[in-house]
Amino acid sequence: MRTSSRPLRCALTALTLIAIVVAPWSGAPAQSRLRVLATLPDLWAITRAIVGDLGEVQVATRPGQNPHDLEIRPSQFVLVKRAEILVRNGLDEDAWIDPIIESSGNPRLLRGAPSVVEAARGLTILKIRTGPIDRSLGDVHPSGNPHFTLDPGTLPVVTANIVAGLARLHPDLAEQLDANRRAFLDEVAAATRRWSDALAPHRGAPLVSYHDSWPYFYQAFGLEELGVIEDRPGVPPSPQHLVALIRQMRARRAKVVLVESWYPSDTATAVARAAGARVLVLPQSPGAVKGTDTYIAHLDFLVTSLARALME
Amino acid sequence: MRTHECRPLALLVVLSFSILTGPAHAQDADALRRELEALRQQFATVTESYAQRLKALGDRLQQLEGRAAPAADAPTLADLARPRQPFSLAQPGRVLLFDIGVSGDFVTDFTSPTRERRHDGTFAGRENRLFPREVELEFFGRVDPYASAVVRISAGEEPTRGASSSRELSVRLDEANATLLTLPLGTTARFGLMRPRFGTLNTVHQDDLPQVDRPNVLARFFGEEELDGERGIEAFWILPFSTYHELSVGVFDGDNETAFGRGSLRDPLLIGRWRTFFELEELGGLQLDVSAATGSTADGHRNTVIGVGGKYKWIGAGSGFPVLTLAAEGLGGFRGVDTDSGGDGHVERWGAYAYAQYDVNRRWAAGLRGDWTELPVERGREWSLSPYVQFKPSEFLRFRLQYKHTDGRGAVERSAEELFLQGSFILGAHPTERF
């Protein structure tokens, strides 16, 4: 039998060399500029408004990409590796970031660490499931509906969470961050008045959407959720559900079916045609449509498109 | 006499009490009557108020129920005959400190009676049977702020090469390892029982493979489940460059009987892999990897296997479909062997596979895989071609139909036609899909 300890010595030598090569970069000394990673484009747009020119804000998903069934890409490991602060949704929409963090060698971004901001903290969350929860309900969010940034009324809390998280690591920037936040909230308040006015004639209008993305938006602008085509998230709807939904739409004279741009529109088109309504394809995240990469531009686009569709 | 004198006095006392107490009784009765009346009025008001509130709530409930299911149309016979939505048995509010997932992977290998008799089908000893290839119970989560862990226990029918078919289920510990997350120098390390980072598909579990069976070259060089169940320690780094470069190095016992089998840290199995990724934005993404594994076989010869892999994926804009995946992996084996004359010899063997898959939408996909490989020790080679179709009703349920034609020469001389059917499901928590 020929055995040798040479491979073991080679491995140890290789490990030592790797350590020598990696060491200069790995300590990642604290820099004065913020290096923030947001998991989702809406949080990216909001965080950018707060950070301004105090640092750089990256996003782990592409605008217009469906975060519900996201596939982990190696390029996301690089983003996680470089960031010093992570802004995450706080519910279950971006749970895919956890395995990335665990394999990225950046323990500062592990859940529960001071460098992690949970944007949903302190918000009143809609649609928290109360009955028995299992996969017969589809790929549900047990912690509640995570699309809260579509209600501008949540931004005071969301931005306060972000500023608190950033200032925790950079107390020297707290004042500037808070000033940026106030300026941003003022802009949002002015825009909210504009959005409310645009949708005021349609208050109470019954709406149907493909995915259950819009409860906060409906709540913010006094619209009514008549139904959701994909009644069990991630599972194509059953014919009997669609038949019942079409009946309801006819009875309530629903005019518009909202479809998030990352979902196929064929089912929604068929439902809308049968119910005498029209399909409105909307981006659910900032940046998915050219010129909408800020929070206000994104909401402007949503409100204007919807108001126009309801008017027709 | 004194008795008679006392009588008027007693009468006077009684009369006095009568005169004095009569009006007081009347006053009490009036007061009580008024109080009673007031209470009656209060009761009536409260009753009325509650009746109004009950009515309002009832109306609201009716309205809400009306919205959820309009009573305008009575259910038709067809409505009543349709199957109901599945009910659930889970209870809300359960809190666990780790995740639990169960996956089931059932396969059928339809082939000719000759292949069944000789047990030389892709799933040896399980030809023309529907068998549980792997039913897996998985626990994973954080151990503490510094580590996470995973434990996988699986049961399934093992491959056999003997005369009888495999029918017994064997339960085994597939993986049990902890990952240390907060090591210095950006190091992440795991120790325990694991699937090492080697090549493109080694870390992929049986039920998650892109096709029903593991590509021929991987099965021939390492066994049907590739390089799994190794005990040891593995460290990996994401290198600090602007693009993705992952380097991993592992030291293992070398328990894989097909390729190594020495099973001792005195002469360990060493594995290293470098993997990179190019984000091509709208044009997709390209992943490349280079691996090497070197260890000692059970009979004391050195065996070194090198691997080169590539995977390209293009994803349609908007809904994320269609998806086009092109992947290929090649292995080279350099193995010491005993020669017929009793001396030491050396064999060099090669093999590769390539596949293309097109996901039309979330549910349907089709693909084609081609395999060519030499046998790692004996003289012989085989090639195969496998078209397949995949149907996923949801993220948690998948069916596949795959046809495989194999043509072997030398020690695996045969021409085999096989049809695989696969059904897989996931219960509970499941890891996020990777590129």
One of 3.40.50.1220, 3.60.15.10, 2.40.160.10, 3.40.50.620 is the CATH number of B99-428, namely 2.40.160.10
Residue B322 near residue B332 (C-beta atoms within 8 A): no
Whether the pLDDT of residue B209 is over 60: the answer is yes
Q: Which residue has the tokens 């002469």?
A: B267
Contact call for A2 and B302, based on CB within 8 A: yes
The tens digit of pLDDT for each residue in A269-283 reads 999 999 999 999 999
Indicate the residue of B268, B361, B427 with minimum beta-carbon distance to A8: B268
| pLDDT (0 to 100) of residue B20 | 45
Q: Which residues of B touch A99 (CB under 8 A)?
A: 431-432
Could A75 and B244 be called an inter-chain contact, meaning their C-beta atoms sit closer than 8 Å?
yes
Q: Band the pLDDT of B91: cuts 50, 70, 90.
A: very low
Q: Which residues pair with B278 in a beta bridge?
A: B286
Q: What is the pLDDT of residue A12?
A: 58
Are the beta carbons of A78 and B244 separated by less than 8 Å? yes
Label residue B81 by pLDDT band (50, 70, 90): low
Express each pLDDT in A47-99 by its tens digit. Answer: 999 999 999 999 999 888 888 778 899 999 999 999 999 999 998 789 899 99
DSSP annotation of A201 reads G
Q: Where in the sequence of chain A do the CATH 3.40.50.1980 domains occur?
A: 34-126+138-191, 202-311
Q: Confirm or reject contact between A74 and chain B (CB < 8 A).
A: yes
pLDDT of residue B1: 40
Higher pLDDT among residues B31 and B414, named by residue: B414
The pLDDT assigned to A161 comes to: 97
Pull the structure tokens for residue B181. Answer: 């997350």
Mean pLDDT of A122-146: 85
Residues 6+ apart with CB under 8 A from A43: A59, A87, A88, A89, A119, A149, A162
Cβ(A116)–Cβ(A144) below 8 Å: no
Q: What would the two tokens of residue B72 be?
A: 């305008």
Structural element, H or E, at residue B174: strand B169-180
B23: CB partners within 8 A, 6+ apart: none
Comparing B120 with B97, the larger pLDDT belongs to B120
The pLDDT assigned to B76 comes to: 58
Identify all chain A residues contacting B298, using CB atoms and an 8 Å cutoff: none
pLDDT higher than 90, residue B432: no
Q: Which residues of A touch B428 (CB under 8 A)?
A: 135
Mean residue pLDDT across chain B = 86
Q: In this structure, are residues A102 and A113 in contact, taking their beta carbons and an 8 Å threshold? A: no
Are the C-beta atoms of residues A283 and A150 closer than 8 Å to each other? no
A30 in B contact zone (CB under 8 Å)? no
d(CA B249, CA B231): 14
CA distance B250 to B274: 12
- Inter-chain contact A64–B318, Cβ cutoff 8 Å? yes
Q: What is the distance between the alpha carbons of residues B64 and A291, in angstroms, rounded to a whole number?
A: 40
pLDDT digits (tens, 9 = 90+) for B15-53: 444 444 444 455 677 878 878 887 887 777 777 777 777
- Does B76 lie at the interface with A, CB-CB under 8 angstroms? no
The CA-based angle B333-B334-B339, given to 5 degrees, is 120
Q: Do B432 and A22 touch (CB under 8 A)?
A: no
Radius of gyration of chain B (CA): 39
What pLDDT does residue B98 have? 86
* The model's pTM: 0.79
pLDDT at B165 over 90: no
Each residue's pLDDT tens digit, A229-246: 998 888 889 999 999 999
Question: pLDDT, tens digit, for every residue of B218-235?
Answer: 999 999 989 999 999 999
Give the best residue of A37, A62, A98, A134 to mutate against chain B (max B CB count within 10 A).
Answer: A134
DSSP 8-class letter at B58: H
Strand order in the sheet with A34-38: A55-59, A34-38, A85-88, A116-118
The three-state secondary structure class of B318 is coil
Average of pLDDT values for B340-346?
Answer: 86
Give the DSSP letter string of A207-236.
Answer: EEESSS--HHHHHHHT-EEEEESSSBTTBP
Q: Report pLDDT for A27.
A: 44
B275 contacts in A (CB within 8 Å)?
74
Q: How far apart are CA A239 and CA B370, in angstroms?
A: 39
Instruction: With cut-offs at 50, 70 and 90, classify the pLDDT of residue A218.
Output: very high
Q: Band of the pLDDT at B72, cuts 50, 70, 90?
A: very low
Of the candidates B145, B187, B318, which has its C-beta nearest A105's C-beta? B187
Q: Considering chain A, what is the average pLDDT of its residues?
A: 89
Q: Which residues partner with B364 through β-bridges?
A: B391
Verify whether the Cβ–Cβ distance B236 to A103 is below 8 Å: yes
Q: Return the CATH class of domain A202-311.
A: alpha beta
Residue A220 reports pLDDT greater than 70: yes
pLDDT for A136? 79
| Residue B344 tokens, joined | 């030491």
CB contact under 8 A, A26 and B186: yes
Please answer yes or no on whether A234 and B395 come within 8 Å at the CB atom: yes
Is-contact B166 B159, C-beta < 8 A?
A: yes
Task: Write out the two tokens for B256.
Answer: 């894989």
Interface check for A105 against chain B (CB to CB < 8 A): the answer is yes
What is the predicted ipTM?
Answer: 0.80
Residue that the structure tokens 């029903």 belong to: B212
Which pLDDT band holds residue B214 (cuts at 50, 70, 90)? very high
User: CA-CA distance, A159 to A149, in Å (whole number)?
Assistant: 10
The reported pLDDT for the residue numbered A140 is 78
Q: Looking at residue B50, what is its pLDDT?
A: 73
pLDDT at B152 over 90: yes
How confident is the model at residue B42, as a pLDDT?
Answer: 77
Contact with chain B for residue A75, Cβ under 8 A? yes
> In terms of pLDDT, which residue wins out, B60 or A116?
A116
Q: Choose between B40 and A190: higher pLDDT.
A: A190
Supply the DSSP symbol for B135: E
Whether pLDDT at B80 is above 60: no
pLDDT exceeds cutoff 50 at B68: no
Q: Does A235 touch chain B (CB under 8 A)?
A: yes
Of B72, B86, B249, the CB nearest to A136: B86
Residues with Cβ within 8 Å of residue B159, at least 6 apart in sequence:
B123, B124, B125, B126, B166, B224
- Contact of A17 with chain B, judged by CB distance below 8 Å, is answered with no
CA A110 to chain centre: 19
d(CA B219, CA B66): 60
Which has more pLDDT, B431 or A177? A177
- pLDDT in the model for residue A14: 63
CB-CB under 8 Å, B317 with A64: yes
Q: In this structure, are residues B308 and B330 in contact, taking their beta carbons and an 8 Å threshold?
A: yes
pLDDT on residue B259: 95
β-strand pairing of A34-38 with B323-338: unpaired
For chain B, the residue count is: 435
CATH number attached to the domain at A34-126+138-191: 3.40.50.1980
A251 touches chain B (CB under 8 A): yes
Would the CB atoms of B272 and A14 count as touching at under 8 Å? yes
